[in-house]
Amino acid sequence: MNILYTAEALATGEGRNGHARTSDGRLDLNLAIPTEMGGSGDGTNPEQLFAAGYAACFHSALQLVARQVKANVADSAVGARVGIGPIDGGGFGLAVTLEVSLPHMPREEALDLTEKAHQVCPYSNATRGNIEVTLEVTED
């Protein structure tokens, strides 16, 4: 693979109750375990960061495949929900739901475009076969 860009981040402190900062300083934030998992919730958490990254990445992939077929993706949006929970055998796993809104497109075309974006998106390619990813196309 020809690497075009590398992001660097450092986590310090107590992991989920610590601090994270990118090497360029553009992201610099406190982390906290969510209240639902017994923490204070006084900071962001890795699942929120993953959700934001996946939503943005998938939206870019959606726009890329839309341009290739000259589809109208005006007012489109992608939301990501990242769940965390215990898995069989110990440890924790993730599950993702991507909610795609393509308000100016017939449902069948929106479903097809969403599937094509799922094949292109680097986050989808990284998670495929590793975690459950559900694609939902909303009715607007």
Give the CA-trace dihedral at 123, 126, 127, 129, to 10 degrees: 150
Q: Do 131 and 74 belong to one domain?
A: yes
**Segment 55-68 mean pLDDT:** 98
Q: Map residue 92 onto helix, strand or coil.
A: strand
Q: Do 39 and 51 belong to one domain?
A: no
Query: Which pLDDT score is estimated for 66?
Result: 97
Residue 26, classified by CB atoms within 10 Å of its CB into exposed (0-12), middle (13-18) or buried (19+), is exposed
Summarised one tens digit per residue, pLDDT across range 35-58 is 999 999 999 999 999 999 999 999
**Segment 62-79 mean pLDDT:** 97
Q: Do 92 and 109 belong to one domain?
A: yes
Q: Structure pTM?
A: 0.95
Q: Do 63 and 18 belong to one domain?
A: no
Q: Do 7 and 27 belong to one domain?
A: yes
- How does the average pLDDT of the chain come out, rounded? 96
User: pLDDT-derived band of residue 63, with 50, 70 and 90 as boundaries?
Assistant: very high
Domain that holds residue 34: 1-44
State the alpha helices, DSSP H only, in 5-130.
46-69, 107-120, 122-127
For the domain that residue 70 is a member of, what is the CATH number?
Answer: 3.30.300.20
